[in-house]
Amino acid sequence: MLSPGIFSAEWLITLYYLVILTIVIVVAKVASTFVAGRTLRGEARFLLLAPVLSISSWQQMLLLGRPDKRSLLYKGMIFLPLMVIVFLWVPTLTSEMAWWVRSYLAILPFWLLIETIQLLVELCWSQVNRSVPPISQHPLVAKSVADFWGRRWNRLFGDWLRQVCFRPLARQPILALTVTFVISGLIHELLVSLPLWLVYRVNCFGWMVGYFLLQLLAILIERQWLRQFPRLNRPFVWLVVLIPAPLILNQGTLLIFHLAILS
Protein backbone atom coordinates (compact mmCIF):
# COMPACT_ATOMS: atom_id res chain seq x y z
CA MET A 1 0.00 0.00 0.00
CA LEU A 2 1.26 3.46 -0.83
CA SER A 3 2.13 5.70 2.08
CA PRO A 4 -0.71 8.14 2.93
CA GLY A 5 2.01 10.65 3.88
CA ILE A 6 2.94 11.11 0.22
CA PHE A 7 -0.61 11.80 -1.01
CA SER A 8 -3.68 13.20 0.70
CA ALA A 9 -6.55 10.72 1.00
CA GLU A 10 -8.61 12.42 -1.72
CA TRP A 11 -5.76 11.97 -4.22
CA LEU A 12 -4.62 8.59 -2.92
CA ILE A 13 -7.96 7.01 -3.79
CA THR A 14 -7.68 8.45 -7.32
CA LEU A 15 -4.15 7.11 -7.61
CA TYR A 16 -5.29 3.62 -6.58
CA TYR A 17 -8.04 3.85 -9.18
CA LEU A 18 -5.55 4.77 -11.92
CA VAL A 19 -3.15 1.97 -10.96
CA ILE A 20 -5.93 -0.62 -10.97
CA LEU A 21 -7.36 0.83 -14.20
CA THR A 22 -3.95 0.43 -15.87
CA ILE A 23 -3.81 -3.22 -14.81
CA VAL A 24 -7.38 -3.80 -16.01
CA ILE A 25 -6.57 -2.23 -19.39
CA VAL A 26 -3.50 -4.42 -19.88
CA VAL A 27 -5.36 -7.60 -18.91
CA ALA A 28 -8.35 -6.64 -21.08
CA LYS A 29 -6.20 -6.05 -24.15
CA VAL A 30 -4.35 -9.33 -23.65
CA ALA A 31 -7.66 -11.19 -23.28
CA SER A 32 -9.04 -9.51 -26.40
CA THR A 33 -5.95 -10.52 -28.35
CA PHE A 34 -6.17 -14.17 -27.31
CA VAL A 35 -9.95 -14.40 -27.88
CA ALA A 36 -9.38 -13.03 -31.40
CA GLY A 37 -6.82 -15.78 -32.02
CA ARG A 38 -3.94 -13.34 -32.38
CA THR A 39 -0.49 -13.32 -30.79
CA LEU A 40 0.84 -10.69 -28.42
CA ARG A 41 3.87 -10.08 -30.63
CA GLY A 42 1.74 -9.71 -33.74
CA GLU A 43 -0.55 -7.18 -32.04
CA ALA A 44 2.11 -5.12 -30.26
CA ARG A 45 0.75 -1.85 -31.69
CA PHE A 46 -2.71 -2.62 -30.35
CA LEU A 47 -1.36 -3.53 -26.92
CA LEU A 48 0.87 -0.47 -26.61
CA LEU A 49 -0.93 2.28 -28.50
CA ALA A 50 -4.64 1.59 -28.93
CA PRO A 51 -7.03 3.89 -27.01
CA VAL A 52 -9.59 1.05 -27.10
CA LEU A 53 -9.75 -2.32 -25.31
CA SER A 54 -11.18 -4.55 -28.02
CA ILE A 55 -9.04 -5.55 -30.96
CA SER A 56 -12.21 -5.38 -33.09
CA SER A 57 -12.59 -1.70 -32.16
CA TRP A 58 -8.92 -1.13 -32.97
CA GLN A 59 -9.37 -2.56 -36.46
CA GLN A 60 -12.42 -0.35 -36.96
CA MET A 61 -10.52 2.68 -35.75
CA LEU A 62 -7.83 2.14 -38.38
CA LEU A 63 -10.54 2.43 -41.04
CA LEU A 64 -12.18 5.60 -39.71
CA GLY A 65 -11.75 8.83 -41.60
CA ARG A 66 -9.96 11.99 -40.53
CA PRO A 67 -11.60 13.82 -37.64
CA ASP A 68 -12.94 17.35 -37.94
CA LYS A 69 -10.28 19.15 -35.90
CA ARG A 70 -12.10 22.47 -35.96
CA SER A 71 -15.23 20.86 -34.50
CA LEU A 72 -13.12 19.22 -31.78
CA LEU A 73 -11.60 22.58 -30.84
CA TYR A 74 -15.03 24.22 -30.63
CA LYS A 75 -16.26 21.42 -28.38
CA GLY A 76 -13.16 21.82 -26.25
CA MET A 77 -13.92 25.51 -25.76
CA ILE A 78 -17.30 24.48 -24.29
CA PHE A 79 -16.56 21.32 -22.33
CA LEU A 80 -13.24 22.19 -20.68
CA PRO A 81 -14.50 25.38 -18.95
CA LEU A 82 -17.59 23.46 -17.83
CA MET A 83 -15.34 20.81 -16.31
CA VAL A 84 -13.45 23.48 -14.36
CA ILE A 85 -16.75 24.81 -12.99
CA VAL A 86 -17.90 21.31 -12.06
CA PHE A 87 -14.74 20.42 -10.17
CA LEU A 88 -14.58 23.78 -8.40
CA TRP A 89 -18.19 24.11 -7.30
CA VAL A 90 -20.12 20.82 -7.24
CA PRO A 91 -18.18 19.13 -4.38
CA THR A 92 -18.47 22.20 -2.15
CA LEU A 93 -22.11 22.95 -2.91
CA THR A 94 -23.19 19.37 -2.17
CA SER A 95 -20.92 18.69 0.83
CA GLU A 96 -23.75 18.82 3.40
CA MET A 97 -26.12 16.62 1.44
CA ALA A 98 -26.75 12.91 1.93
CA TRP A 99 -24.64 10.61 -0.26
CA TRP A 100 -27.62 9.29 -2.20
CA VAL A 101 -28.66 12.87 -3.06
CA ARG A 102 -25.11 13.65 -4.20
CA SER A 103 -25.23 10.55 -6.39
CA TYR A 104 -28.22 11.83 -8.32
CA LEU A 105 -26.75 15.33 -8.59
CA ALA A 106 -23.51 13.80 -9.94
CA ILE A 107 -25.22 12.18 -12.95
CA LEU A 108 -24.87 15.22 -15.20
CA PRO A 109 -21.30 16.08 -14.08
CA PHE A 110 -20.26 12.44 -14.57
CA TRP A 111 -21.66 12.45 -18.11
CA LEU A 112 -19.77 15.70 -18.71
CA LEU A 113 -16.59 14.03 -17.46
CA ILE A 114 -17.03 11.13 -19.88
CA GLU A 115 -17.59 13.54 -22.77
CA THR A 116 -14.51 15.57 -21.82
CA ILE A 117 -12.31 12.47 -21.65
CA GLN A 118 -13.62 11.45 -25.07
CA LEU A 119 -12.84 14.91 -26.42
CA LEU A 120 -9.26 14.85 -25.08
CA VAL A 121 -8.65 11.42 -26.62
CA GLU A 122 -10.06 12.61 -29.94
CA LEU A 123 -7.87 15.72 -29.88
CA CYS A 124 -4.76 13.64 -29.23
CA TRP A 125 -5.46 11.18 -32.05
CA SER A 126 -6.51 13.93 -34.44
CA GLN A 127 -2.85 14.94 -34.56
CA VAL A 128 -2.16 11.77 -36.55
CA ASN A 129 -5.39 12.16 -38.56
CA ARG A 130 -7.21 9.29 -36.87
CA SER A 131 -10.74 9.27 -35.53
CA VAL A 132 -11.56 7.46 -32.30
CA PRO A 133 -14.78 5.45 -31.80
CA PRO A 134 -16.96 7.43 -29.38
CA ILE A 135 -17.03 6.31 -25.75
CA SER A 136 -20.73 7.15 -25.63
CA GLN A 137 -23.01 7.36 -28.63
CA HIS A 138 -26.08 9.53 -27.99
CA PRO A 139 -27.22 7.70 -24.83
CA LEU A 140 -30.25 9.98 -24.48
CA VAL A 141 -31.89 8.37 -27.53
CA ALA A 142 -31.57 4.80 -26.21
CA LYS A 143 -34.71 2.84 -27.12
CA SER A 144 -34.22 0.06 -24.58
CA VAL A 145 -32.00 -0.98 -21.70
CA ALA A 146 -30.20 -3.37 -24.04
CA ASP A 147 -29.67 -0.55 -26.53
CA PHE A 148 -28.32 1.74 -23.79
CA TRP A 149 -25.68 -0.73 -22.56
CA GLY A 150 -25.01 -2.46 -25.86
CA ARG A 151 -24.57 0.54 -28.16
CA ARG A 152 -24.88 3.85 -26.33
CA TRP A 153 -22.92 3.95 -23.08
CA ASN A 154 -19.20 3.36 -22.48
CA ARG A 155 -18.39 1.56 -25.70
CA LEU A 156 -14.79 1.38 -24.55
CA PHE A 157 -15.71 -1.43 -22.15
CA GLY A 158 -18.93 -2.36 -23.92
CA ASP A 159 -17.20 -3.42 -27.15
CA TRP A 160 -14.66 -5.41 -25.13
CA LEU A 161 -17.39 -7.17 -23.13
CA ARG A 162 -19.21 -8.02 -26.34
CA GLN A 163 -16.11 -9.53 -27.94
CA VAL A 164 -14.61 -11.33 -24.95
CA CYS A 165 -17.64 -12.27 -22.81
CA PHE A 166 -20.81 -12.25 -24.89
CA ARG A 167 -19.91 -13.59 -28.33
CA PRO A 168 -18.12 -16.76 -27.14
CA LEU A 169 -21.36 -17.69 -25.31
CA ALA A 170 -23.82 -16.24 -27.81
CA ARG A 171 -25.52 -19.60 -28.42
CA GLN A 172 -26.78 -19.39 -24.84
CA PRO A 173 -27.91 -15.73 -24.75
CA ILE A 174 -29.12 -15.64 -21.14
CA LEU A 175 -25.84 -17.15 -19.92
CA ALA A 176 -23.92 -14.76 -22.17
CA LEU A 177 -25.79 -11.74 -20.78
CA THR A 178 -25.31 -12.92 -17.20
CA VAL A 179 -21.57 -13.45 -17.61
CA THR A 180 -21.22 -10.09 -19.36
CA PHE A 181 -22.97 -8.11 -16.64
CA VAL A 182 -21.30 -9.98 -13.79
CA ILE A 183 -17.85 -9.37 -15.30
CA SER A 184 -18.73 -5.70 -15.78
CA GLY A 185 -19.82 -5.48 -12.15
CA LEU A 186 -16.65 -7.18 -10.90
CA ILE A 187 -14.46 -4.80 -12.93
CA HIS A 188 -16.27 -1.85 -11.37
CA GLU A 189 -15.79 -3.38 -7.92
CA LEU A 190 -12.05 -3.53 -8.54
CA LEU A 191 -11.94 0.03 -9.85
CA VAL A 192 -14.13 1.69 -7.20
CA SER A 193 -14.94 -0.48 -4.20
CA LEU A 194 -11.36 -1.67 -3.67
CA PRO A 195 -9.76 1.82 -3.63
CA LEU A 196 -12.55 3.07 -1.34
CA TRP A 197 -11.82 0.29 1.14
CA LEU A 198 -8.03 0.66 0.89
CA VAL A 199 -8.09 4.40 1.61
CA TYR A 200 -11.15 4.97 3.82
CA ARG A 201 -11.99 1.44 5.01
CA VAL A 202 -15.54 2.00 3.75
CA ASN A 203 -17.16 -1.24 2.55
CA CYS A 204 -19.27 -0.84 -0.61
CA PHE A 205 -18.43 -4.27 -2.03
CA GLY A 206 -21.36 -5.74 -3.91
CA TRP A 207 -23.00 -2.43 -4.81
CA MET A 208 -21.58 -2.40 -8.34
CA VAL A 209 -22.43 -6.03 -9.05
CA GLY A 210 -25.90 -5.40 -7.66
CA TYR A 211 -26.42 -2.47 -10.02
CA PHE A 212 -25.45 -4.49 -13.09
CA LEU A 213 -27.56 -7.46 -12.03
CA LEU A 214 -30.52 -5.05 -11.94
CA GLN A 215 -29.67 -4.04 -15.52
CA LEU A 216 -29.56 -7.71 -16.52
CA LEU A 217 -32.95 -8.30 -14.92
CA ALA A 218 -34.36 -5.26 -16.71
CA ILE A 219 -33.19 -6.55 -20.10
CA LEU A 220 -34.84 -9.90 -19.44
CA ILE A 221 -38.06 -8.12 -18.42
CA GLU A 222 -38.18 -5.86 -21.47
CA ARG A 223 -37.53 -8.80 -23.81
CA GLN A 224 -40.19 -10.94 -22.16
CA TRP A 225 -42.97 -8.43 -21.48
CA LEU A 226 -42.31 -4.96 -22.91
CA ARG A 227 -42.06 -5.80 -26.61
CA GLN A 228 -45.82 -5.48 -26.90
CA PHE A 229 -45.76 -2.09 -25.14
CA PRO A 230 -43.22 -0.04 -27.17
CA ARG A 231 -44.28 3.26 -25.60
CA LEU A 232 -43.07 2.03 -22.23
CA ASN A 233 -39.57 1.17 -23.43
CA ARG A 234 -37.94 4.58 -23.10
CA PRO A 235 -39.44 5.46 -19.70
CA PHE A 236 -38.39 1.99 -18.55
CA VAL A 237 -34.78 2.67 -19.65
CA TRP A 238 -34.42 5.74 -17.46
CA LEU A 239 -36.31 4.17 -14.59
CA VAL A 240 -33.86 1.26 -14.58
CA VAL A 241 -30.67 3.20 -15.31
CA LEU A 242 -31.23 6.24 -13.07
CA ILE A 243 -33.27 5.11 -10.06
CA PRO A 244 -30.53 2.77 -8.73
CA ALA A 245 -27.77 5.25 -9.69
CA PRO A 246 -26.51 5.58 -6.06
CA LEU A 247 -25.34 1.97 -6.31
CA ILE A 248 -22.82 2.86 -9.02
CA LEU A 249 -22.32 6.59 -8.43
CA ASN A 250 -21.64 5.72 -4.82
CA GLN A 251 -19.30 7.31 -2.31
CA GLY A 252 -16.27 5.67 -3.91
CA THR A 253 -17.05 6.85 -7.44
CA LEU A 254 -17.68 10.42 -6.33
CA LEU A 255 -14.48 10.56 -4.26
CA ILE A 256 -12.34 9.03 -7.00
CA PHE A 257 -13.50 11.57 -9.57
CA HIS A 258 -13.53 14.47 -7.08
CA LEU A 259 -17.24 15.04 -7.53
CA ALA A 260 -17.71 15.09 -3.74
CA ILE A 261 -15.78 15.75 -0.57
CA LEU A 262 -16.16 14.04 2.78
CA SER A 263 -18.45 16.06 5.02
Kindly report, residue by residue over 24-35, the tens digit of the pLDDT.
999 999 999 999
Kindly report, residue by residue over 128-172, the tens digit of the pLDDT.
777 777 888 888 899 999 999 998 999 889 999 999 999 999 999
**pLDDT band with cut points at 50, 70 and 90 for residue 91:** confident
Q: Which of 3-12, 107-116, 155-164 has the lowest mean pLDDT?
A: 3-12
Kindly report, residue by residue over 227-246, the tens digit of the pLDDT.
778 788 889 999 999 999 99
Q: Output the pLDDT for position 3.
A: 47
**pLDDT band with cut points at 50, 70 and 90 for residue 21:** very high
Average model confidence (pLDDT) across the chain: 88
**pLDDT band with cut points at 50, 70 and 90 for residue 182:** very high
Q: What is the mean pLDDT of residues 69-76?
A: 80
* Residues 6 or more apart in contact with residue 66 via CB below 8 angstroms: 126, 129, 130, 131
Q: Which of 19-23, 41-45, 135-139 has the lowest mean pLDDT?
A: 135-139
